[in-house]
Homo-oligomer: A and B are copies of this chain.
Amino acid sequence: MTGGAFLALDWGTTNLRAWVVGKSGEVLRRRDFALGVGGLAPGEAQRRFHADVRPAMAAETLPAMLCGMIGSNLGWRAIPYLDCPAAFDQLHEALVRVDAAGPPVWIVPGLRAERPDGGPDVMRGEETHLFGWAVEDPVRARGEHLICHPGTHAKWARMVDGRIDTFVTSMTGELFALLRKHSNLRVAEAEEDDAAFALGLEAAGDGRALASRLFTARSRVVGGDMAPRSVESYLSGVLIGAEAASTPSLLGIGVGARVSIIGDLALSARYRSALEACGFQTDVFDGEHAVLKGLAALFERAVATC
């Protein structure tokens, strides 16, 4: 059963990715827009959705399902978080319809969790990727799973029987961008260097003393061991290596466990290397496929009950 064609949007801080999904779940059109909510004025999201996104996607009359930071106070409207542990059914029940007139437009709420190490944590958008992964194959999702969703703000979640139990955010991608652009470690020209990435993974050690491990990028250059153009790959290795070595334990998950990485495939490959170097087993799943499965499943439910 499907709810017909719809417009699916993963609308984040820096980017908006849109798909028109056909009756049988096939992708008819796909496009990225430089309309991340981080760059929008108050009220602009709704206007751009109608004036730019709908026409560009030839989707003026389609219902739409939106996830991501579009549901924050930076976006269309602040949608309350759903508290963890959270199941897919609860996410569906917490959908918010934002346009009173015209074809329905729903926004998926984000999630809030109590971190195992204390204090709250939040996500907006990744919940749809994670539930998409779970609802696509409920048998696969049975039992306890550690999910890693890499990105600017990577999310590490413990899922049990398809429910998101708790999660923590790791701002590894943002730290990498800060170091690359603004720090004393920045370099004029960089190139991908797999050996430097591997050396960075090794230098990350057990994930402690990160501020000190990072500095070795500079001392290796000053000491003549490393070419400046390799610094970025090395830093990426130190940061992802430290994250892989220490974040699962925050969720009470020990070395040797299986980690499901859901995300951009190039970045996921780096996380796979880092996690396997720490003794974890990994499976990699395409994040775009997962978020589409999640948006489609939510859309089907919404249409069936609206």
**Which residues of A are in contact with B by a Cβ distance under 8 Å?**
112, 115, 117-122, 153, 156, 168-172, 174-175, 178-179, 181-184, 202-203, 205-216, 218-220, 222-223, 225, 239, 242-243, 245-247, 249-250
Contacts and interface: CB of A to CB of B under 8 A. Distances in A.
A118 to B, nearest CB: 7
B203 A117 contact: yes
B220 A175 contact: no
B182 A215 contact: no
A178 B183 contact: yes
22 contacts: A112-B223, A115-B219, A117-B203, A117-B209, A118-B202, A119-B216, A120-B222, A120-B223, A168-B212, A170-B209, A170-B211, A170-B215, A172-B211, A174-B184, A178-B182, A182-B182, A206-B208, A208-B208, A208-B245, A208-B249, A210-B242, A211-B243
Contacts of A223: 112, 119-120, 122
Given A120-B220, A171-B215, A215-B153, A243 B178 contact: no
A171 B119 contact: no
A247 B212 CA distance: 8
Nearest to A216: B119
Nearest to A112: B223
Given A169-B219, A174-B183, A223-B112, A212 B250 contact: yes
Copies in the complex: 2
Contact of A211 (B115, B171, B249): B171
A120 B216 CA distance: 7
Contact of A120 (B170, B225, B250): B225
Contacts of A239: 211
A205 to B, nearest CB: 6
Nearest to A176: B211
Contact of A178 (B119, B178, B219): B178
A188 to B, nearest CB: 15
A8 B169 CA distance: 48
A179 B219 CA distance: 22
Of all A-B residue pairs in the complex, the 4 with the closest CB atoms, nearest first, are: A208-B246, A120-B223, A170-B212, A209-B246
B214 A171 contact: yes
A304 to B, nearest CB: 32
